[in-house]
Structure 1
Amino acid sequence: MDIKLIDRGENGELILTGRLETKNADEVCELFLKLADRFKDLTLNMQGLKYISSAGLRVLKKTYMKLHSNGGELILKNVPPYVKEVLEMTGFTEILNVK
């Protein structure tokens, strides 16, 4: 998985490319949580995301919880249809800001 950071002051945007799955979830989670401390709001641009597993969903949940506890927001944008379907089926679209 490739991740590119765009720093917008209090807000950060991560451009995700590839697959968010078990083999990279711990490393990605560590990065996202560090960035959740650095930025008030974090946007995940998922246009290049091909796949998300249950481990990837846990990464999103942990990141959301960290940002939310700090008074910030996790925003998902350009979510591909397959990934959006997974988010809808698991109820994540009810708690996350999906654009």
Structure 2
Amino acid sequence: MSVTCTGEDRNLRLTVSGEVDHHGARAIMQELDRQVDAGLPRRLTLDLSGVTFMDSSGIAVLLRAYRRMAELGGALTVANVPPQALKVLRAAGLERIIRFE
């Protein structure tokens, strides 16, 4: 599991690759917190194009990102969600509160 961060003008993009399970989710959330605290973005995009597996721990990652951006008055978008991960996220009903591209 790896997280790559890019951004400019208070737009932050976190690209996640590998498995998002219990262990990976913890590392993703720690990096998410570090990057959000450092950049105070107005817009955060989580790019999940490299995710090979996701369990319910991925739900916690997205909810954490959503709450952090709400605290800042910013917006969250989730992009490039693989089919398996999308099933997990849809089962939780996250498309009702989070924007998916």
Question: After TM superposition, is the score higher than 0.5?
Answer: yes
> Secondary structure at the residue paired with 1:57?
helix
Give distance in 2, aligned partners of 1:96 and 1:54: 16
2:46 matched to 1:44? Answer: yes
> Secondary structure at the residue paired with 1:76?
strand
Q: Partner of 1:83 in structure 2? A: 85
Unaligned runs of 5+ in 2: none
Does the 8 Å CA contact 2:3/2:31 hold for their aligned counterparts?
Answer: no
Once the 2 structures are TM-superposed, how far is the Cα of residue 50 of structure 1 from its aligned partner?
Answer: 1.2
CA-atom RMSD in angstroms: 1.3
Residues 38-60 of structure 1: per-residue CA shift (max 9 Å, x gap): 22211011111111222221121
Q: Partner of 1:9 in structure 2? A: 9
Residues 2-59 of structure 1: per-residue CA shift (max 9 Å, x gap): 1111112210111111011101222211111222332221101111111122222112
2:29 matched to 1:34? Answer: no
Give distance in 2, aligned partners of 1:55 and 1:80: 16
Give distance in 1, aligned partners of 2:42 and 2:99: 15
AA aligned opposite 1:21: D
Identity of aligned residues (%): 26
- TM-score normalized with structure 2 length: 0.88
- TM-score normalized with structure 1 length: 0.90
Runs of 4 or more consecutive aligned structure 1 residues displaced over 3 Å after TM superposition: none
